[in-house]
Amino acid sequence: MSLDEIKNEISKINSYLKNCLWMDFEICEMSFIKIEVAGRIDRGINDFAISIEFNQPYLVSGLLTWGLEHSKEFIRLAKPSEFIEFNKRYKIEQGKYLFRINMENCDEGIYIAASDVKCDIYNENPFD
């Protein structure tokens, strides 16, 4: 996936979540093929409003469940300094992108290194 495609997918995710009042997230699937992060408006409801898939992951660092943080973008590419820090520790494979997900009430983010990211929005207006 090209850098422009990655940025478009990140923009799609952030634009959707900017309009959400809240969202509970979890890592609902994790394997060497993909990591799936999914969000819903209530943990008591089984229907996800959004699903974000990271394909061909190399690493994940962070919590398994968290809430939406409204004061920051939900997801972004890691800053060069963050990438260098992770690369020194984990030797991230060439061709992988390092994504940072911001969490409610936590300065540390969730980091996922993967080849690409894909978003599916199942409920355009989860609060209607």
Domain residue spans in the chain?
Answer: 3-121
Q: pLDDT tens, 53-77?
A: 999 999 999 999 999 998 899 999 9
Give 40's pLDDT tier (boundaries 50, 70, 90).
very high
pTM for the predicted model, two decimal places: 0.94
Euclidean distance between CA atoms 88 and 46, whole angstroms:
39
CA dist 19 to 13, 34, 35, 77, 89, Å?
A: 11, 27, 24, 21, 36
Does 85 score more than 90 pLDDT? yes
* Residues 108-125, mean pLDDT to the nearest whole number: 96
What mean pLDDT, rounded, does the chain reach?
A: 95
Euclidean distance between CA atoms 68 and 49, whole angstroms:
13
